[in-house]
Amino acid sequence: MKVTEHIKYSNNKPSFSVEILPPLKGENIQDIFKALEPLMEIKPTFVDVTYHREEYEYKETKEGLWEKRIIRKRPGTVGICAALQNRFGVDAVPHVLCGGFTKEETENLLIDLHFLGIDNIVALRGDAVKSEIYFKPKKQGHRYANELVRQIDNQNQGIYLDNELLNTTKTNFCIGVAGYPEKHIESPNMDADIQFLKQKIDSGASYIITQLFYDNQKFYDFVEKCRAAGITTPIIPGIKPLSTKRQLNLIPYRFNVDIPIDLANDVIKAKTKEDVIEIGIEWMIEQSKDLYSKGFNLIHFYTMGKTDPICRLAKTIL
Ligand code: FAD
């Protein structure tokens, strides 16, 4: 079922979705099943599965040559989505990137996803990999997410890259895109970022999932700006519990988001690792209560493989 249909038929009841990462270096799929089982009992609306490009490094050989080596590889997003749908009957939503794909490779990926019964896709540009200074599209690939959205939307209408393929497989994906309540780091300014977000919607996207944030007011301001810019699609807030002291510096650096002073001070004062985890979960629960109370009935949780905080939240709120 499409994410937009889930939202439409939810009767405004508080609900949640989660995001999981394919595990590094391909552990067994059973580990993913085991981690998700407690969550499935409280019925997430959908499960997003991220996509990650391979990371390379160049090592000098004894002969003084540069050798390209893979340093980070994750198993297939597509396979995990198919397995999750099969095992749990939950809608699995693959993330599809511009980076690392030609348009033709994207077309083939979409045909596979359609064949596997996937109804939703989150279309993203992707970040630069470590060997790049800034994001570079593959030759014959897309530079910005709105171009990828357009390709998916075209394919939904039976328009393929090669006219010969016309009417072979008409896909029917519901397309989600990323939004940034505190601005994407590369964007010239907030207004421009929202203008580009609108472009993604105009190209065929049906809903927005936001980057994580810790200050709900920034999310509410963002929603207001989106509405003022003519964006009428659902905007799903994305949140993640802070869980280590190190993240006080890592999260702002990695995601371009602020950590409110009250939360930062509590984490700084915490004496043990367990205290930090507890503070992070409590903050996330308060954020969620506030979001639900303001009518944001579907919240997306970045679980990073840890499902306990969401199960706890479910016991207190859902
Ligand atoms: P875009 O919408 O293409 O925007 C990229 C930048 O270009 C922005 O600064 C935007 O303002 C600017 N821009 C857009 N259009 C134009 C234009 N026409 N001219 C000039 N500038 C323009 N990364 C992964 O690798 N794998 C994942 O699975 C993944 N999942 C994510 C899920 C969510 C919900 C979010 C919020 C992010 C996710 N990311 C993921 C990270 C994402 O790939 C990065 O944030 C990436 O840098 C931007 O992706 P985008 O789709 O927002 O890009």
Distance between Cα 99 and ligand 1 center (Å): 10
Residue 38 alpha carbon to ligand 1 centre in Å: 31
Q: Which residue has the tokens 């919240």?
A: 299
For the chain, the domain total comes to 1
Domain-located, residue 276: no
Residues having CB within 6 Å of any atom of ligand 1: 50-52, 95, 97, 122, 124-127, 144-146, 178, 184, 186-187, 193, 196, 200, 209, 211, 238
User: Burial of 201 by CB count in 10 Å (0-12 exposed, 13-18 middle, 19+ buried)?
Assistant: buried
What pLDDT does residue 15 have?
95
Residue among 121, 125, 182 whose CB has most ligand 1 atoms within 8 A, to mutate: 125
Does residue 289 form part of some domain?
no
237 within some domain: yes
Which atom of ligand 1 is closest in space to residue 187's alpha carbon? Answer: 9
Q: Which long-range contacts (CB under 8 A, 24 or more apart) does 256-264 make?
A: 256/180, 256/182, 256/183, 256/184, 256/185, 256/211, 257/181, 257/182, 257/211, 257/212, 257/213, 257/214, 258/182, 258/214, 258/215, 258/218, 259/214, 260/214, 260/215, 263/214
Please tell me the predicted confidence (pLDDT) of residue 65.
Answer: 82
Contact assessment for residue 178 and residue 145, using Cβ atoms and an 8 Å cutoff: yes
Joined together, the tokens standing for residue 178 give 């990323």
Predicted local distance difference test score (pLDDT) of residue 71: 66
Domain coverage including residue 167: 3-241+296-305
pLDDT at 165: 60
3-state helix, strand, coil in the chain (%, to 5): 40, 20, 40
Cα–Cα nearest to 123, from 133, 220, 139, 103: 103
Domain CATH code at residue 53: 3.20.20.220
Ligand 1 centroid to residue 246 C-alpha, Å? 25
pLDDT of residue 170: 82
Helix/strand/coil for 178: strand
**Which residue reads 């199960």 in tokens?**
311
Instruction: Write down the residue that tokens 């499935």 correspond to.
Output: 40
| pLDDT in the model for residue 20 | 93
Distance 207 CA to ligand 1 centre (A): 15
> For residue 276, what is the enclosing H or E element?
helix 273-293
Within 10 A of 26 (CB to CB), how many other CB atoms are there? 11
Nearest CA to ligand 1 atom 26: 51
CA of 145 to the centre of ligand 1 (A): 6
Q: Which residues of the chain fall short of a pLDDT of 50?
A: none
Ligand 1 atom nearest to 176, measured from its CA: 34
Domain presence at residue 249: no
> Which pLDDT belongs to residue 151?
97
Instruction: For residues 298 and 144, give the distance between their C-alpha atoms in angstroms, rounded to a whole number.
Output: 27
Nearest alpha carbon to residue 31 among 39, 22, 18: 22
Query: Taking a C-beta distance cutoff of 8 angstroms, is the pair 237, 205 a contact?
Result: no
Q: Give residue 81's pLDDT.
A: 97
Rounded to the nearest whole angstrom, what is the distance from the C-alpha of residue 135 to the centroid of ligand 1? Answer: 10
Q: Are strands 298-302 and 15-20 parallel, antiparallel or unpaired?
A: parallel
Number of Cβ within 10 Å of residue 86's Cβ equals: 12
The answer to the question of residue 260 being in a domain is: no
Does residue 43 belong to any structural domain of this protein?
Answer: yes
Three-state DSSP class for 217? helix
Query: Ligand 1 test: best mutation among 124, 129, 302, most atoms within 8 Å of CB?
Result: 124
pTM of the model: 0.95
Residue 80 is assigned to a structural domain of this protein = yes
User: Which residue puts its alpha carbon closest to atom 10 of ligand 1?
Assistant: 187
Asked if the structure places residue 208 within a domain, the reply is yes
